[in-house]
Structure 1
Amino acid sequence: MAELERTSEKSKKPKNMSAEIVGTSLFHHILNRRMILSAREEMKSLLHRLIFVGKISPELADKRDLAEYWEEMFQNVQRYYQGEGITGLLLIYPSYVIHILESSCDVLYSVIRDLKDMQKQGNRALILEPRILVVSHDIPTRLFYHWSYKVLNLTARWLGDISSNEPVERIVNDCLALLLKLGKHLQSSPKNSRVVPDSLIDKVPELIVPQDTIKHLLDRNELLTPEKFLQAYDSPLNIVMDSERVWPSPVHIAPV
């Protein structure tokens, strides 16, 4: 009996030691952390930014209807994605718009899908011919404290001399630089206001992207429409797995 008890203790000891050693590993530390924070809560900490441009429908009588439309849409989206804060800026020109949005990936792609569906309405759509300027993933901080809009009354002017041979990447980068500087400037605006005060815009007219530049961007086929952007996003990646590689080769390989 004594030998059986000693044998039983020896068989238990390695198991306890193994569990103790493995339980203190970095892998188990991360695993325990994931048990506390669900995968969805971890994804909520990721922040993304979407910037798109578009043409305002000529049938739109009051341009403030655009702000009301997106405000209502954001309320509906946030009912589905609870806790997903939406910040950004909507600049409404006489004929065009620039919209900057900061939120989760699910919210931003809901906006892009809505833009795609809106084009099916033809001339009744509020925004025509939208183009995606950029989608920035995993940005460190928000540029805006809340979502707001501004109706601009500006004369047409160019952002430098733009020719048809100008690389679209350079034009987009110049516009993004102005928008980021404008967002930094607007951080001094009231946090509870949905409308950007005129005084803040009047101080920095040089930070407003010219309307003619937006028109030029909409004419460039290099910028993706919401439909083409979603096609690329929803299409599966054609990845060749190692298991798909066979030897010998099915075709003759000519010697070098």
Structure 2
Amino acid sequence: MVDKKDLGGYYENLFQKLQCSHQAEGITGLLLLYSSHVIHVLESSSDVLYSVIRDLKDMQQQERALLLEPKILLMSHNIPSRLFQQWEYNVLNITAERLDDTLQGEPIEKIISEFLTLLLKLGIHMQKTYKEFPNKPLSSVLDNVPELIVPQELIECLLKSNELLTPHQFLDIYDASISVIMDSEFVWPKPEHLLPETRK
């Protein structure tokens, strides 16, 4: 990752362009910039989300990519309400810790569950804080709840797992043509070739 503020500025510009072409949907979420990792939570329409994933894929093909080896954790549809009021980013001053041996043996489902639980709790905390103090800077909101910041070793575990897809793999599946058989194409009973009746 190059300069972290470059990445925050890059996404601010990208979202301005996307909002011009997808005027109906706003973009909200949170970009957390660690010393060597990034967590990006986005809330928007499917079109916007797929555009961001396509941009990630294109970024990988550039010589000077802002992000290396991104993975997609979760894509959800028809969520009743948003967790974040706006999109913002913050540079975290958290040092990377060594991977905990107990964490390495855990099933990936448990690690994902722990990861998502922390993000949801952080989002709920931010919602409550901004209702009481609308102008409070994000950095001070995050400083008050260090226990809700996803540890870097948890991110490292997810990035090393083969279960999560890269943007390229994700889009290959999304763009693959699907052969759908309509119900009207099924005939019951199964048609058989009828031979002409033989007469004696």
* Cα distance per residue 1:11-51 (max 9 Å; x no partner): xxxxxxxxxxxxxxxxxxxxxxxxxxxxxxxxxxxxxxxxx
TM-score using structure 1 length: 0.67
TM-score by length of structure 2 reads: 0.85
Distance 1:241 1:84, change over 3 A: closer
CA RMSD of aligned residues (A): 2.1
Q: 1:146 to 1:192 in 2, by over 3 A?
A: farther
Match among 87, 95, 104 for residue 147 of structure 1: 87
Name the counterpart of 1:175.
115
**Count of residues in correspondence between the two structures:** 186
In the other structure, the counterpart of 1:64 is: 5
Structure 1 residue 166: deviation in Å?
Answer: 2.6
- Inter-partner Cα distance in structure 1 for 2:62 and 2:134: 35
d(CA) in 1 for partners of 2:115, 2:11: 23
SS of alignment partner, residue 161 of structure 1: helix
Opposite residue 73 of structure 1, the aligned amino acid is L
Identical residues among aligned pairs (%): 55
Q: Is the Cα–Cα contact under 8 Å of residues 85 and 103 in structure 1 kept in the other structure?
A: yes
Map 1:184-195 onto structure 2 (within 5 A).
Answer: 184-187=124-127, 188-189=129-130, 191=134
Q: CA distance change for structure 1 residues 240 and 83 in 2, over 3 Å: closer, same or farther?
A: closer
Structure 1 residue 235 and structure 2 residue 169: aligned?
A: no
Aligned to 1:162: 103
Aligned-partner residue type, residue 66 of structure 1: L
Structure 2 runs not aligned, ≥5 long: 194-200
- Give 1 or 2 for the bigger CA radius of gyration: 1
Question: 1:62-141 alignment to 2 at 5 Å?
Answer: 62-122=3-63, 124-141=64-81
Alpha-carbon contact 2:84-2:123 (below 8 Å) kept = yes
1:107 & 1:238 partners in 2: Cα distance? 26
- 1:29-81 CA distance string (max 9 Å, x none): xxxxxxxxxxxxxxxxxxxxxxxxxxxx2xx1x21111100000000011111
Higher strand share: 1
Counterpart CA distance in 1 for 2:135 and 2:168 is 34
Structure 2 CA distance, aligned partners of 1:247 and 1:173? 50
